[in-house]
Structure 1
């Protein structure tokens, strides 16, 4: 009964609520659901130390009118305070955006044609309200084309956002971004690569690499010395990796369009010093989240899918090599239970992480407390899981 009420109130599927409550108390589940509605208080940015320093980036951002603060535990991380929540006015002219676009506009992004689902009485120049498919009012702005044109053309600027529930600077429009001095990346994602601590000369396989955040940070820490094979399934995804590498000045990455579950068929990927595995997951920890509609069947399929990647990762690692396993979800099944399955079925050992700012993983056996969770209500980050394992001889 309580699960159903929570699902209705937060626009979540019952299965998602059930899985959260498998991990957390009712009180914590409520706190997490409320936290997922917001983007958090800090917007994290990684400094590209191959090209610049943190102090220079802070100075350049200040010249753009943006105040950035240092993250005290890592010298390549800064953050910007997220502003909001703000009241957004309702207008008679309406634009409905798809879920992904609505969640971006919710933080101040402009709305582009591909994200428009429907318009109501909209003409170019009108003040409009932007809604999610389930009716969440996320922003208001000025229509930059007629409504029928938005849905027909599916390209170009549809609505210029003038007021949104939350506000984050348009980082990717800044000169410091275009020059490759920064990369916007969540704090747990950055921490995970620092935990891996890749060394110069290493051979790394990033099995699900797009858009390249972990790939490019690994290359940065390796000082552009070594080789990283960045894999993803489509040319669109690997093109994004190449674009980011070019912008950031990284030249040790080779991209491949492959299904990483079958990389064991190619000898080039064997004897890796490290594997980075952030497999497709239920993304329950991603924020902000206006609603969530994954079914029970989808949750179960993710668990099975992820284990196929783990099995291949073990084959590719050299003895003594490291497997970094991460997800942006909060379920036991995709996190600790996958790690428990891995160490029971393969010669893997969970090892201690040198940076530990999250909560210990759940489980008192098999060193599961050496894994770590980042929880939206507790750490002001997206929900995230990190495990580091070593392949035994």
Structure 2
């Protein structure tokens, strides 16, 4: 238990971006950007970066010789903001809890609890005054602190370096999930819990914008945001609807092209990136999850799973994923699904880049090898590349529907 808690409390040692494969990625822009940052940090080296695959960019940490002088002023930020800083972000105004006056260089810390416990998360300089942040009577927006160097030593990379929709900050297992779905031209694909659309747009790009992708989410604002993302990525093959996916199947529906709900056996592939406890996020600096909240997710996941099985075609593929590390939401959901739906067969969630499923959680050893779990595991277990061990907690399983 302590091993996974320690792992979750630390950020990964690299940052990943998904590259829009339908657009040209210019290496020189990133090189020049990092060179300018290196001058600010008084170093001649820049972080290593490379394409893990054509659609996945990896950027590593600044080297250990990068030094920066900390100021003697402290700015306190909230836990979510602090976690973002450790992943290489600037501090945006809503995350600031308290700060000194004036524009000075400072180190900023996380207020972990109300008892005043703090943790150093990075160094930067102030771009907003106290008055701008707190005294105008409205919620301030924009960058409040320009981060120079996070405590994690990850570089701060602004996505606006490229035209909108060219690169997207995305965790590596989320990108792997797209590789597992493996969208092809002309396939009819359902993304059941699509917002904010990162996996949806990935599937569209993988299909060269030629699949027929349906994206559902029950929140209107989220669907509006998803549609904007599709536009910025230059995608036309995605149709997004405000709809509750637990009700997405109806025997009275006229067909896929009429919008939700859909007839049984409608989709070649279904992605169920299920609502979950999110306990795989790193760094996890604070956790307010109660046991009651934790137990609630599996019931929603099962409802969604039933609908997914109904709308999936015979011979189709259902991909199930979460960004959590609990066995109840991962291995035990897979075990429940195999017991509940005789028509489902577990298949390898290829490419298998994470570790196998946990033992003693309802899956046989053979079934454990078919799923992939991104979490701390023994070195003897399956990992193609060490990079897949130092990422967020995540889980992926894939099924096929038999007659």
Partner of 1:19: none
1:358 is matched with which residue: 342, 351, 354? 354
Which structure has greater helix proportion? 1
For the 8 Å contact 2:15–2:87, the answer to whether it is kept is no
Number of aligned positions between the proteins: 356
Gaps (5+ residues) in structure 2? Answer: 35-45, 113-117, 380-388
Deviations 1:160-196 (A, max 9, x none): 33342124444444432x2433222222211222122
- Contact kept, 8 Å, 2:70 with 2:105, in 1: the verdict is no
Confirm whether residue 386 of structure 1 aligns to residue 396 of structure 2: yes
- Which stretch shifts more, 57-66 or 240-249? 57-66
1:145 paired with 2:163, answer no
Match of 1:32 in 2: 4
* Residue 54 of structure 2, aligned match among 75, 78, 84: 75
**1:20-99 residue pairs with structure 2 within 5 A?**
29-52=1-24, 56-65=25-34, 67-71=48-52, 74-83=53-62, 89=70, 91-95=72-76, 97-99=77-79
User: What displacement does 1:387 show?
Assistant: 0.2
Q: Contact (CA 8 Å) 2:147, 2:156: kept in 1 or not?
A: no
Q: Provide, for residues 9-67 of structure 1, a one-character-per-residue CA deviation record: whole Å limited to 9, x for no partner.
A: xxxxxxxxxxxxxxxxxxxx333322222221221122222122xxx543442233364
Q: Provide the rounded CA distance (Å) in 1 between the counterparts of 2:63 and 2:242.
A: 40
Is 1:119 equivalent to 2:83 in the alignment? no
CA distance in 1, matches of 2:101, 2:194: 41
Higher alpha-carbon deviation: 349-358 or 377-386? 377-386
CA contact (8 A) 2:86 2:122 kept: yes
- The answer to whether the Cα contact below 8 Å between 1:68 and 1:80 also exists between their aligned partners in 2 is yes
Residue 289 of structure 1 aligns with which residue?
284
Taking structure 1 as the reference length, the TM-score comes to 0.82
Residue 328 of structure 2 aligns to a residue whose secondary structure is: coil
Query: 1:159 maps to what in 2?
Result: 145
Of 299, 302, 311, 1:316 maps to 311
Answer yes or no: is 1:249 the counterpart of 2:228: no
C-alpha contact 1:36 1:289 (8 A) present in aligned 2: yes
Please say if residues 40 and 82 of structure 1, whose CA atoms lie closer than 8 Å, have aligned partners that are also in contact: no
Q: How does 1:147-226 map to 2 (within 5 A)?
A: 147=130, 149-151=132-134, 152-156=137-141, 157-176=143-162, 178-226=163-211
| 1:111–1:84 Cα change, 3 Å | farther
Q: Which moved more, 1:330-339 or 1:150-159?
A: 150-159
SS of alignment partner, residue 5 of structure 2: helix
Contact 2:149 2:156 in 1 (8 A): no
Deviates more, 1:137-146 or 1:101-110: 137-146
RMSD: 2.5
Which consecutive residues of structure 1, in runs of 5 or more, have no partner in the other structure? 1-28
Instruction: Render the CA deviation track for 1:70-89: whole Å, top value 9, x for unaligned.
Output: 32xx3322210034898884
Shift of 1:128: 4.5
Per-residue deviation, 1:294: 1.0
